[in-house]
Structure formats: C-alpha cells, structure tokens
Chains A and B, each alone.
Chain A
Amino acid sequence: MERELTEIRWHGRGGQGAKTAALLLADVAFSIGKHVQGFPEYGPERMGAPITAYDRISNNKIRVHSNIYDPDFVVVVDDTLLHTVDVTNGLKEDGAILVNTDKDKSEITPFLKGYKGKVYTIDARDVSMRTLGKYFPNTPLLAAVVKISNLMSEDVFLSEMEKSLKHKFAKKPEVLDGNMKALKLALEEVV
C-alpha cells in the first residue's frame, strides 16, 4: 500500500540511537524526493531512560508540528520497554509493529495489548554482530522498517544507502562493506 503520508514512532532508551535511526530514515526518504520530518521527543537526558522519536514521510509539504499519536508503524528498539511502555498506543491496525528482540514472536504478542495489525521481529544484535562485529542496532532496524513500511523498493533503498555511506565513510571503505552487509542481512532476517 502506497501511503500519501507515513508516520512512524520509535521507542528506545537514551543512548541506544533511536533518534539517530529516525534521522537516518528521514535522510534516506529525503534522498528519493520525499518531504520528511524526523524529530525526537526530549525529556530529561538520561542514559537508559525511555525515549521516543518520530518520522513523518510524505509526498506533500509537512506543516504539522505535533508529536505522532496514531502512527502507521512503531519500532521498538529495546524489548525490555514492552514491560513499561504502551508501545501499540494509537497504532493503526493496517500498519505494523517491529520489535528488536531475540525472542520468538509468540513471546512478544502478550505485551501488545491485543494489537490486530502485523507484528514483525528482528534480532538486530545478531545481525549487527555477524556483519559489523559490534552492536549497532540502527543499521539493521533501518533496513527492517523500510521493508515492513514499503516506503521504497529494496533495490532503491540499498543503492541510496550505498551512496550515502560511501560519502560518509569515504576514508573507511571497510565500514561501508559491513554496513551494506548488515542492511542486506536485515532485509532477509525481518520476520
């Protein structure tokens, strides 16, 4: 389904890079000509405290400047948040939720308050460790959210990311390879 406006809410913990992931998604959507809005909701700046970040991706100019209450998609960067944060609040049923976890989907669903839309999981730690050798959940989650939201085709996404990573890591080609591998593996691993 092609949406005129796609709204995404990210739940993470301070220091995990949910804000960076939201901005990376805005970047890649901008690169294919979309109007974008990527912004964090700031509270007390504490490592580990629950934080929220948002993306709006639209075919038209974006004017609204409020938080997102009825998102099309929700991304949970840390599955321990499922115990304390109402992550499916307002989430549209024709959308989906993506949870970064090593657990089986059946262990996740009890925390989703009867959410009737699609539920996806990805083990971003596993993908990241296998491709980058370190835990950077953003890269796999970015690929996974692009896939489940259908914001662009996988080919377009990968070629745009390659362009941007080449520019970003011009002096570190080895980083480029690892990141591209992480993106490709994540596209396969999201279930």
Chain B
Amino acid sequence: MSIKERMSGNEAVAYAMKQIDPDVMPAFPITPSTELPQNVANYIANGQMTTEFIPVESEHSAMSAAIGAEAAGARTMTATSSAGLAFMWEMLYVASSSRLPIVMAVVNRALTGPLNINCEHSDSMGARDSGWIQIYAENNQEAYDNFLQAYRIAEHEDVMTPVMICQDGFIVSHGVENIELIEDDKVKAFVGEYNPKHSLLNGPMAVGPYATSPYGMEAKRAQAEGVNRAKDVIVAVGEEFGKMSGRSYGLYEGYCLEDADYVIVAIGSACGTTKDAIDEMRAEGKKVGLLKVRVFRPFPAKELTDALKNAKAIAIMDRAESYSSQGGPLAAELSAALFAAKSKAEVKKIVYGLNGRDYRVEDAKNVYAELERIAKEGNDDPFEYTYIGLRE
C-alpha cells in the first residue's frame, strides 16, 4: 500500500533522495532549491541517511565534486536552480562527456535579469545542449516519481549519461499538495545497487583526457548514442515503475489528445492548468487536447509528431525566451520536427510565464480559441510568436 502524504515538491524530491540514499551529495544552496540540500542534511544529521554530504563553496565546485565522486564509482546527486546551474556550465559538459551518471534535481527558476526568483525554464533550457538527459514534472508527485526513476536511466549501460530531474520553482517546489509515496523497500528494490563497470577505484581508467582531432569526433558521436538510446530506456523504466506504483510514464503524456483538433504542447505545471481548461471546453463540445512533453532530452521528435498527426492547429508554449526571434526552444525544435514529419497543421509559437507570470485556465482557453481561428483562417504570420499576459 502506498503512503498518502502531503508535501511540497522540494520535500517530495528530498524524500526520494532519502529513500535512494546515494553515496555522495555535494551541494551549494540557492533559492528555490535550497530545501533539497537542507532536508538531506537534516536526514543525515538524524541518522536517516548515510550519504556523504559535501558542503562546497560554489555550484562550480558542487558539479566538480560530483564528477570526482561519480568517477570514483560513487552514486552521486546534487541540486540547484537558476544562476547555480549557470555557474555549473563548464562542468556540466565534463560530467556528460565523461559518461558519469550523476542525477541532479533542478528547481526551475529564471536567470537574471531582471533579478527574479520565480519560475521560468530558462535555466535548464539553456543547458539543453550540455549532453544531459532532461525530464520535467507537472507536480510534486511526478517530481518524486521522476527522481526515483532517474538512476535506472542514467546508470543503464546503454546510456551512462547524467540526468536532470526538473520541477517548476515555487509553483511545484513550494506548493504543498497530496502525494502518494512508495515504501522504502520497494524503492530500494526498484532503484537497485550501483556497480559501475568502470571506476577510478576499480582498476585503471582515464577521466577527462585530451582528445586530438582524429579522436574527439568519435567520442562525441558515442556520447550522442548514449543520449539517443536513453529514449527506449526511459520508456522501459517508466513502464516498470508503473507496474510497481500504478503510475506509468513515457516520453510524453497525451490528455484528450487522440481526437483533438486543437492542441497545446507544453512542459511542467502549466499542463495541469491546461487540463482543467480542456475539461471545461470538452464539456462545451470543443475538440481540444494537450501534449505534455516529459522528456526534452533526448528530444522525442518522432514520437511527438506522431502524437500530433491528427491536430489541425498546434500551440507550442515555452516558459523561456530564446532571443532567437522564433519563440522558445520547444517551439523551435518541435516546429523543425513537424516540418520533417510533413505536418500540415497550423503552428502558433507562444512564450508565457516569464519571471513567474501566472498562467491561468482562462489563458489556456484563449489559446484554444486562437487555434480554432487560425485553423479556419490560416496563421497570419507563421514566423511570428506571441506572448500570454504581456503588457505591451
């Protein structure tokens, strides 16, 4: 029987960390992810965890220490947000290219400026090309469940790639909601022991060597293969997790999607709000649906475009500005995939929720109304993107 509780997203992920009890956690606190290292430190102080906690002097050091620990053969985790993730930048690439299966909880927050502590996906979206797998959550339950699945994905021998488990800052991280926790013994059995094939403490191994031009490209190709193969592993782990918990996961979630003419594609907590709008509009006979992207890296281009094949008009919504004149990263990548899939759907690119700007049920309804309009009249300017709730 699962354990019914109420927790914030941060509390839920900290609880998952306690249950997994990895070997090492180097971390430096930053709002809104501070409670993660704080709660883990409490668990350790109370004798509920055996993890070696390393209080470092910066996020650059946190990721460096994580790399060292993981290379030594220790199961390693860390947590950060916003500027903290930005400060790790250089080392993110070292972790992924060294094929070190570190798991990092990212609590999404805007990058400066203007200085702001609220939710945005600009931090992890900026790190989308760093070679890390990225999995996003709609609520506290998913943040918890995703963290429990992360090591199975990262440490899989076909993958050997670090994973970011992302949740929306404040909206999820600080919102207390109902949650079903899984018993410790089931978690332990599901996650399993970590026995790396290669590690510094287990025979000779080079970490971070120089590669001349005749070799470097092959290293990157091999690294990309690990990320590509993660797709099948993520699906298999998500199914197995479902058998244990009753909650299955895939690369994306469709809500009222199959027969939907008008579809919103989004990531994170906005998807819950969109589902409420869908229920209200379906009751009025509107064929609206949602495609929630759970996995952004690897980017499931084929799966997402297959799922969208019946849509007449699609709104692709980003909680990040790319300054690319094409909306956010999800819009740019999914548009490219839809072109490859020879989609005939009208596409509307939308940026919303920057610096924590609220996204409401009414906003989703307005997006669907606009989709219905462009499906009939055509998109006035397909190169343009628009904003929700912006005061021009």
Q: Give bound CA distance, A37 to B175, whole Å.
A: 7
Contact of B176 among A38, A61, A67, A69 (CB under 8 A): A38
Q: Which residues of A contact B118 (CB under 8 A)?
A: 42
Are A37 and B176 closer than 8 Å at their CB atoms? yes
Are B172 and A30 closer than 8 Å at their CB atoms? no
Q: Give bound CA distance, A69 to B389, whole Å.
A: 15
* Segment with Cβ contacts to A, from B63-71, B266-274, B299-307, B339-347: B266-274
Q: Does A64 contact B (CB under 8 A)?
A: yes
Are B117 and A65 closer than 8 Å at their CB atoms? no
Q: Which residues of A contact B174 (CB under 8 A)?
A: 39-40, 42
Q: Give bound CA distance, A140 to B10, whole Å.
A: 29
Within 8 A of B (CB), among A54-84: 61-67, 69
Q: Does A181 contact B (CB under 8 A)?
A: no
How would residues 190 to 223 of chain B score, 1 for a CB under 8 Å from any chain A CB and 0 otherwise? Answer: 0000000000000000000000000000000000
Within 8 A of A (CB), among B157-180: 168, 170-172, 174-178
Q: Give bound CA distance, A67 to B361, whole Å.
A: 10
Q: Does B229 contact A (CB under 8 A)?
A: no
Q: Give bound CA distance, A40 to B6, whole Å.
A: 16
Are B170 and A64 closer than 8 Å at their CB atoms? no
Are B178 and A36 closer than 8 Å at their CB atoms? yes
Are B178 and A30 closer than 8 Å at their CB atoms? yes
Are B175 and A66 closer than 8 Å at their CB atoms? no
Q: Does B156 contact A (CB under 8 A)?
A: no
Contact of A65 among B6, B139, B176, B178 (CB under 8 A): B139
Q: Does A23 contact B (CB under 8 A)?
A: yes
Contact of A42 among B117, B276, B358 (CB under 8 A): B117
The verdict on A67 contacting B117 (CB below 8 Å), with A30-B6, A38-B175, A38-B176 known, is no
Query: Chain B's nearest CB lies how many Å from the CB of A10?
Result: 14
In the complex, 25 of the A-B residue pairs with CB atoms within 8 angstroms, ordered by the A residue number, are A36-B6, A36-B176, A36-B178, A37-B177, A38-B175, A39-B176, A40-B174, A42-B174, A61-B178, A62-B177, A62-B178, A63-B139, A63-B272, A63-B275, A64-B276, A65-B139, A65-B171, A65-B175, A65-B270, A65-B272, A65-B359, A66-B359, A66-B360, A66-B361, A69-B360
Interface positions of A (Cβ within 8 A of B): 23, 26-27, 30, 35-40, 42, 61-67, 69
Instruction: For the A-B complex with A39-B174, A63-B139 known, give 16 more contacts whose Cβ atoms are closer than 8 Å.
Output: A26-B176, A27-B176, A30-B6, A35-B177, A36-B6, A38-B176, A39-B175, A61-B178, A63-B273, A63-B275, A65-B171, A65-B270, A66-B358, A66-B359, A67-B360, A69-B360
